[in-house]
């Protein structure tokens, strides 16, 4: 079983050979895969495999593999199994003793890291953030103190809202918006998160597939307990506890639960009076 990239511009000779000689090509959307096969004259049988039908068709596919069939798993865009369906099929194949081989192609995560100009020695790829702002901010707060570059996939229609939440939670970190990587209209825009918020507010919604690369926190900006208490006292003097905590979390990137716990401790000790 092989996993070639589903990108017409970047398909390697090896991937073409695998797709041409497989007994069956599994695709999220057979219309996309058919265009891919037609581009180099392959006529391999196509079948649908995605998150919706995976549980139903997986046993039959594993039986085919046991009987010696060669299956090729593709994705509609990017690298299969990277924020795409398919890992359960690979897991089941390995448990059944079936060999699994990868046919590497360009990966948007690694490509974005390569051109962002941000630290790449340590990074965390976290897929897509939640679609709703409140849940998104909660997740970002969990990532805020991780000493690594953060990488996310995002859709164009949510980009402005996501950048705004990132600026609120992560502050002025350097970031890059990488769009349409390896394609004709490739663009990489670099700046601080607030600068990127302003740019896309003026420029409007972009088009295409997007990777967001966010630089790691600056260790010089670390907040010690005394600084945290001072910040909390300042905000608690004029805001409700919940709003004060939200403000401090936005300024520091500290986990909300830790800031809230400290705010309650200050209140119980008379520290907010």
Among candidate residues 86, 80, 89, the one with its CA nearest the CA of residue 62: 89
For tokens 């057979």, the residue is 30
pLDDT at 2: 44
Cβ neighbour number for residue 168 with a 10 Å cutoff: 19
Q: What pLDDT score was predicted for residue 100?
A: 92
Query: What pLDDT is stored for residue 182 in this prediction?
Result: 78
Would you state the pLDDT for residue 120? 92
Q: CATH top-level class for 108-218?
A: alpha beta
In terms of pLDDT, which residue wins out, 17 or 252? 17
- Contacts made by residues 84-87, CB under 8 angstroms, sequence distance 24+: 84/28, 85/28, 85/49, 85/50, 85/51, 85/54, 86/3, 86/49
- Domain positions in the chain are 8-95, 108-218, 223-268
- The CATH number for 8-95, chosen from 3.40.1010.10, 3.40.80.10, 2.40.37.10, 3.30.559.10, is 3.40.1010.10
Residue 148 token pair: 């690594």
CA atoms within 13 Å, Cβ hemisphere of 96: 21
* Predicted confidence (pLDDT) per residue in 5-15, tens digit: 444 556 788 98
Asked if residue 270 has pLDDT above 80, the reply is no
Instruction: Could you list the beta-strand ranges (E) of the chain.
Output: 24-27, 46-48, 71-73, 123-128, 149-154, 174-179, 187-192, 210-214
Predicted pLDDT of residue 225 = 67
Say what the pLDDT of residue 183 is.
81
pLDDT band at 222 (very low <50, low <70, confident <90, very high): low
**How does pLDDT run across 151-178, given as a tens digit for each residue?**
999 999 999 999 999 998 898 899 999 9
CA distances from 222 to 126, 138, 250, 252 (A): 23, 20, 13, 8
CA 4 vs. chain centroid, Å, equals: 20
Residue 266 token pair: 């200050």
Per residue in 126-159, pLDDT (tens digit) is 999 999 999 999 999 889 888 899 999 999 999 9
Strands 149-154 and 123-128: parallel
Question: Is the pLDDT reported for residue 233 higher than 70?
Answer: yes
């Amino acid at each position: 079983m092989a996993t070639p990239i589903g990108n017409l511009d970047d398909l390697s000779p090896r991937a073409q050979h695998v797709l041409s000689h497989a007994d069956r090509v599994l695709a999220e959307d057979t219309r996309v895969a058919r265009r891919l096969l037609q581009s180099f004259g392959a006529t391999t049988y196509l079948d649908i495999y995605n998150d919706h039908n995976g549980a139903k068709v997986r046993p039959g596919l594993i039986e085919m593999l046991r009987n010696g069939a060669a299956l090729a798993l593709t994705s509609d865009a990017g690298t299969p199994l990277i924020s795409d369906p398919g890992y359960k099929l690979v897991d089941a194949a390995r448990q059944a003793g079936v060999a699994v081989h990868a046919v590497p192609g360009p990966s948007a995560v690694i490509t974005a890291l390569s051109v962002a100009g941000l630290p790449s020695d340590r990074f965390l790829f976290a897929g897509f953030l939640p679609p709703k702002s409140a849940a998104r901010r909660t997740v970002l707060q969990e990532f805020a103190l991780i000493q690594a570059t953060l990488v996310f996939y995002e859709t164009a229609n949510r980009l402005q809202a996501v950048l705004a939440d990132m600026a609120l939670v992560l502050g002025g970190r350097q970031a890059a918006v990488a769009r349409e990587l390896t394609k004709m209209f490739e663009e990489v825009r670099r700046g601080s998160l607030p600068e990127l918020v302003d740019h896309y507010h003026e420029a409007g919604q972009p088009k295409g597939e997007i990777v967001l690369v966010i630089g790691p926190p600056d260790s010089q900006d670390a907040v010690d307990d005394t600084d945290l208490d001072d910040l909390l006292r300042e905000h608690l003097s004029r805001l409700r506890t919940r709003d004060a905590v939200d403000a401090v979390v936005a300024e520091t990137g500290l986990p909300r639960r830790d800031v809230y716990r400290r705010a309650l401790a200050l209140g119980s000790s008379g520290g907010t009076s």
